[in-house]
Amino acid sequence: KNQVEQSPQSLIILEGKNCTLQCNYTVSPFSNLRWYKQDTGRGPVSLTIMTFSENTKSNGRYTATLDADTKQSSLHITASQLSDSASYICVVSRSNNDMRFGAGTRLTVKP
Amino acid sequence: DSGVTQTPKHLITATGQRVTLRCSPRSGDLSVYWYQQSLDQGLQFLIQYYNGEERAKGNILERFSAQQFPDLHSELNLSSLELGDSALYFCASSVGAAYNEQFFGPGTRLTVL
């Protein structure tokens, strides 16, 4: 209960290709869901924040979707670049601001 | 650069010791969050302060404590350190108490020998 699971654990793609990362959660009661990008050894950077009523949000080449009924979210990266190589972390907050973190997906973009 | 500063950048200490990590939030941000990230655990939320008051508590050990001062900077105190406390400690800040974008600092890498 109150878990966040991300898949795949790691992913390797070629530069220019698209990819989709998954986040499934059982966190309840739900407040919001965030996607972060974290370069190795650096602090995470926020990509998107979505509440219950939002089902899609974009930030440049990053598009997050949320299905609150099935408790699933995805992060789609379009036309990947070498600089997209990083860990992508899904964070789901409960109504009391208690945050639950996924283990992250490690993305490697190769030339 | 997120505008959040953390000191020190690196800290090496021995088991049983006590250390203090410091965080200065972005100008105008009232909330400060502390996180721990170890290799085998991923990111874990420790505690949040909003305008000087504790707002939310996560997986913070009793050996750890934090506070936010009137000038809004925050300190995380870690005592009776154990080898397993070795990790990256991040501070983040946001404008409000909830549902706001959080801006992370560069982190403090703590090594307990």
- The shortest C-alpha distance from A111 to chain B (Å) reads 27
Spatial neighbors of B55 by CB under 8 A, at least 6 apart, are: A97, B31, B48, B49, B97
User: What residue type is assigned to position B46 of the chain?
Assistant: L
Question: What pLDDT was estimated at residue B104?
Answer: 95
Query: Does position B56 have pLDDT exceeding 80, yes or no?
Result: yes
Question: What pLDDT was estimated at residue A41?
Answer: 85
Cβ <8 Å between B106 and A93: no
What digits encode the pLDDT tens for the residues A12-27?
999 999 999 999 999 8
Average pLDDT of span B80-88: 96
Query: Does position B40 have pLDDT exceeding 80, yes or no?
Result: no
Residues of A whose CB is below 8 A from B4: 43
Average pLDDT of span B60-69: 96
Query: Does position B100 have pLDDT exceeding 70, yes or no?
Result: yes
> Which of B90, B98, B101 lies closest to A43 in CB terms?
B90
Name residue B76's beta-bridge partners. B21, B66
Residue of A nearest to B98 (CA): A97
* Mutate: best of B30, B41, B45, B103, partner A, most A CBs <10 A: B45
Query: Does position B93 have pLDDT exceeding 70, yes or no?
Result: yes
Query: Does position B2 have pLDDT exceeding 90, yes or no?
Result: no
Question: What pLDDT was estimated at residue A17?
Answer: 97
**Confidence class for position A98, pLDDT limits 50, 70, 90:** confident
Cβ <8 Å between B98 and A45: no
The contact set of A with B (CB < 8 A) is 31-32, 41-46, 49, 51, 89, 91, 93, 96-99, 101-104
**Closest alpha carbon to B102 in B59, B60, B66, B55:** B55
Question: What pLDDT was estimated at residue B54?
Answer: 94
> Which of A31, A32, A43 lies closest to B105 in CB terms?
A43
CA distance A76 to A57: 10
Count contacts between A and B (CB, < 8 Å). Answer: 51
Average pLDDT of span A52-59: 93
Average pLDDT of span A84-90: 97
Question: What pLDDT was estimated at residue A96?
Answer: 67
